[in-house]
A and B are shown apart, each in its own frame.
Chain A
Amino acid sequence: MKKVVKKVLFLCLWLALLMLLQQTSILSNTLKLILQYIAIYSIMVLGINIINGYLGIFSLAHAGIMAIGGYASSLISMYLLKAPIFFPINLLLGGFVGMGVGLIIALPSFTVKGDYLAIITLGFSLLVQSLLQNIDAIGASRGLRPIPKNTNIFWVGLTLFLAIFLVKRFIGSKYGRSLLAIRSDSVAAELVSVDVKRTKLIAFGLSSFLISIAGGLICHLLSYTNPGAYGYSLIIEGLIMVYLGGIGSITGSILGATIWQILVETLRFIGMWRWILGAVILISLMIFKPTGLFGNKEISVKWLRTIYTNVAQKLTHKKGGRV
């Protein structure tokens, strides 16, 4: 009971903070924009992490899913439910559309393994992109505009909160543990009666849902979108953020997105060099810490405390050591 109260209290505080940021001009507009980018990409990375991190499948479908989610919710708010009140509903609808497609992508993962699955998902992403480029009814390669500019820091923050909550609950549930079992060994997992197909379906569904919502948010933030945004570079950027933060870690996902977005935004003055810097960081990370900065650990007060006590112990026992 106490836990629930704590959580509700935290949510209220979070909402109040968001309202404060939204209504007042404490933050400059650029800073607000960067914060929104960070939060939106965090949601996307959380989604990718369910498949690439927790389930351990190397999937490249996120660009296609994000495109579908973004296009679906943008089209709904452009033509069907135009009023800004419907924005959350539009986002959810876009999320469900993406989720449906995600469930279809999960089907090949039953039989196809490893690198072949990677190419199927890559093929899917590029297929979606070239379809969007060719269908004239939704703007072809000109894209969609103007999409109502409904995204603001309040909605983004609330969605991020809900996404973290959802993923945390999911990972802690029976299915979350099944996910980890499948990652370690899918055949052995099946032998101890983990329903592999069902778990994969649920994981792909949830992952695609989150990625689609992130797509919807970013479309409504920029108020335009075009197929070019959902290509090879988005695939690679998604991978970078996931593997930067840590595969299989919620806080790692958010940190990965934060670090990458801050790098990209603050290093604008060095122009193209930031991409090379990013690549160097990525390669050195893979060499020295291949599971990402935080691996599958979560940052929490407890974790910080153990680190603190460890360091303190080391400092006090520096000379001589214990007898």
Chain B
Amino acid sequence: MSMYLQQLINLIQLGSIYALLAIGFSIVYGIARLVNFAHGPIFMVSTYLIFYFATFMYTVTSNSWVVYACSLPFAIIFTSLLAVVIEKIAYRPLRGGPIVALVVSSVGVGMILEYGVLLLIGPVPKRMPVLIKDIPFMIGDAKISLASIVIIIVAIISMILLSLFINHTRTGVALRAVSQDPIAASFMGISRSLIISVAFILGAVMATIGASLYTTIYFTFAPYMGDRVNWYSFIAAVIGGIGNIKGAVLGGFLLAALNVVGAMVLPVSTYKDVLVFAVLIIVLLLKPTGLLGKKIIEKV
């Protein structure tokens, strides 16, 4: 019984992190129509930013809550700036051209970020200082760490804030309008360039929050981790229905469930990747636009 409770909490914390990543991926796709291969690398860069801010903050104070509360906004500001700059340099000149060019360009951006970090900092994995203090406590005979509860709470708060932003602010409404119909939105006086920048910022913010939570669980991180994170968020977003935020959350939790249950049930835990891809392919074959995706009507 206690094992199941522990696994359930595991599942929820992993699911909320995947959901954050998938949301970032999905927003960028919904607005800019870009399968963003640079999403994982941005996540990776943000872990390094958090790492350096946190190590710096630990020289000032030893309270982990203060460190977390200070280094996260710093990292968010810098990754957002990075995302805007990338959009200006690598994606904006390509607008209106073939979509594949945009995707290939994002592949290039991902490479630059990955090898840039490799060159500047080196390939040796680093260990994140404690961001969220882990105080284990017991429910019945199940050992539950406070960190996982905090992770879940932080993820839920950021999702609520995001949905408030999207549903109740002018920018949020503009965001939805562009994702629904870019041309009609521009007739209403919405600047598409501005909204695309906002989308990239939101994607980067979600990736940074996700990164801070991810490294709280796994501690070590290296330049190469971006790739894996990239296709995990890609898969979660697509299973749910890419461009759809609710779908991204659903996809994130589904992916986490596959991971946790797969590790419990399968004889060799490395087979769980096989399971994930198999489920992905089957879902897309049955529902080609994802679980919550809208049906695309093709016009000639």
Contact = CB atoms under 8 A, between A and B. Distances in A.
A58 interface: yes
B111 A58 contact: no
B116 A185 contact: no
Given A127-B278, A278-B111, A280-B108, A232 B285 contact: no
Interface stretch (A31-39, A92-100, A128-136, A296-304): A128-136
B231 interface: yes
A111 B107 contact: no
A228 to B, nearest CB: 12
Contacts of A187: 298, 300
A170 to B, nearest CB: 22
A120 to B, nearest CB: 5
Nearest to B300: A187
Q: How large is the interface on A (under 10, 10 to 19, 20 to 34, 35 or more residues)?
A: 35 or more
Main secondary structure of the interface of B (DSSP, over half): helix
B23 to A, nearest CB: 17
A243 B104 CA distance: 8
A315 interface: no
A190 B211 CA distance: 47
Interface string B74-97: 000000000000000110011001
A286 B242 contact: no
Q: How large is the interface on B (under 10, 10 to 19, 20 to 34, 35 or more residues)?
A: 35 or more
B118 interface: yes
B231 A58 contact: no
Interface in B107-140: 107-109, 111-112, 115-116, 118-119
B101 A286 contact: yes
Nearest to B279: A123
B290 interface: yes
B83 to A, nearest CB: 16
Given A130-B270, A272-B118, A120 B281 contact: yes
A113 interface: yes
Main secondary structure of the interface of A (DSSP, over half): helix
Interface of B: 29, 35, 89-90, 93-94, 97-98, 100-105, 107-109, 111-112, 115-116, 118-119, 227, 231, 234-235, 238, 242, 268, 270-271, 273-274, 277-278, 280-281, 284-285, 288-290, 296, 298, 300
Q: Which 6 A-B pairs have the closest CB atoms?
A: A290-B101, A127-B277, A279-B111, A279-B108, A130-B273, A282-B108
Given A116-B284, A279-B111, A282-B108, 8 more contacts: A111-B288, A116-B242, A123-B235, A127-B273, A130-B274, A232-B227, A243-B101, A279-B115
Interface of A: 52, 58, 108, 111-113, 115-116, 118-120, 122-124, 126-127, 130-131, 133-134, 185, 187-188, 191, 232, 236, 239-240, 243, 247, 272-273, 275-276, 278-280, 282-283, 286-287, 290-291
30 contacts: A52-B100, A111-B285, A113-B288, A113-B296, A116-B238, A116-B242, A116-B289, A119-B35, A119-B234, A119-B280, A120-B284, A122-B234, A126-B231, A126-B273, A126-B277, A127-B278, A188-B300, A239-B104, A243-B100, A243-B101, A273-B119, A278-B108, A279-B109, A280-B108, A282-B107, A283-B89, A286-B102, A287-B90, A287-B93, A290-B98
